[in-house]
Structure 1
Amino acid sequence: MDLTEKAELARKGDKQAFVLLIRTIQQSLYVIARSIVKNNEDSADAMQETITKAFTSIHTLKEPAYFKSWIIRILINECNQINRKKKRVSLLPYDLRKTSYKDEYEQVELFEVIDELDEQLQTIVTLFYIEDLAIKDISKVLEISEGTVKSRLFRARKLLSEIMLGEGEDKYELS
């Protein structure tokens, strides 16, 4: 059974289908939350609130095919609310970001570089490259135009390449 079918069943009141949906996308939700709020506790809080809100309002989901985009939008709103409440940045070790990427060291470097971007660009890069969402879906989730998503991705790529090239020059400089 795919996400759309599970979402349709959940929308009709099937609690087990909702649980299966959440289990299917929980890793994605965590990665997105973690990229926005920067620590495990706040990520867990955001996910818990998101799941609660999604469960109580699943009947309002208009198109089951867009369940993932719908719940990501809820999650982003929750994360932004947490960040507004904190009004500070908390830095934690990058090894807290345990995901299914190839190599732990590559993962650390990836997140270190992404964290050097501003918050808007971090979110776009995470959704596009880490969560593999299409530009159209990112546009819906963030409620911005596809052109804005494309321009932010372009700007993020440019900044990321500058960051990476800058690090490379320092690392390999001849004495």
Structure 2
Amino acid sequence: MDLSEKAKLAKLGDKEAFVLLIRTVQHSLFVIARTMLKNDEDCADAIQETIAKAFSNVHTLKEPSYFKTWIIRILINECNRIIRKKKRVYPVPYDMRKTSYQDDFEQIELFEVIDELDEQLQPIVMLFYIEDLSVKDISKVLGVSEGTVKSRLFRARQQLSELALWEGEAKYELS
């Protein structure tokens, strides 16, 4: 059963289908929350609120095939609410981040590079390169135009290439 079929069942009130959907997207939710919030407690709060809101409102889901995009949007709104509440983001030690990935050293390096980007570019880079969402889906998730997503991706690529040159070719290579 694919994600769309599970979402249809969940929309009709099937609680088990909803649980399966959450299990399917839980890693993505964690990675996005971690990127935005940088601390386990805030991530847990954001994900918990996201799941509660999604469960309460799954019946309002218009297109079941967009469940992942829909729930990521809820998560981003929750993360932004927490950020506004705290008005401050604390860095997380990189050894805590590596637990969610297979190849530790490459992922630590990836997070180091992403952390160097402007804050508004970080979620777009994570959604595009890590979560493999399309520009169209990212624009829906973040509530900005596709042109804004494209221009931010362009700026992110520019910053990444400057970081690669600044850090030296031995650390970050452009492909």
Q: Please indicate, yes or no, whether the TM-score normalized by the shorter chain is above 0.5.
A: yes
Indicate the residue corresponding to 1:79 in structure 2. Answer: 79
Q: Distance in 2 between matches of 1:26 and 1:39?
A: 16
The RMSD of aligned alpha carbons is: 1.3
More displaced stretch, 162-171 vs 110-119: 162-171
Query: Does 1:67 find its partner at 2:63?
Result: no
Displacement of 1:119? 1.7
Displacement of 1:94? 1.1
Q: Distance in 2 between matches of 1:138 and 1:128?
A: 7
**Would the aligned equivalents of 2:101 and 2:107 in 1 still touch at CA under 8 Å?**
no
Indicate the residue corresponding to 1:121 in structure 2. Answer: 121
Indicate the residue corresponding to 2:107 in structure 1. Answer: 107
Q: Normalising by structure 1, report the TM-score.
A: 0.94
Give the 3-state SS of the residue equivalent to 1:119 in structure 2.
Answer: coil
Displacement of 1:169? 6.5
Query: Does 1:49 find its partner at 2:49?
Result: yes
Indicate the residue corresponding to 1:158 in structure 2. Answer: 158
Query: Does 1:13 find its partner at 2:9?
Result: no
For residues 65-98 of structure 1, the C-alpha deviation after alignment (integer angstroms, 9 at most, x for no partner) is 1110100000000000111111112122012112
Q: Distance in 1 between matches of 2:101 and 2:89?
A: 26
Q: Which runs of 5+ in 1 are unaligned?
A: none
Q: Which amino acid aligns with 1:100?
A: Y
Give the 3-state SS of the residue equivalent to 2:120 in structure 1.
Answer: helix
Q: Distance in 2 between matches of 1:7 and 1:49?
A: 19
Query: Does 1:137 find its partner at 2:118?
Result: no
* Identical columns (%): 74
Q: Distance in 1 between matches of 2:69 and 2:170?
A: 40
Q: Which amino acid aligns with 2:20?
A: L
Q: Distance in 2 between matches of 1:37 and 1:7?
A: 27
Q: Normalising by structure 2, report the TM-score.
A: 0.94
For residues 103-144 of structure 1, the C-alpha deviation after alignment (integer angstroms, 9 at most, x for no partner) is 201111110110111221000000000100011100111111
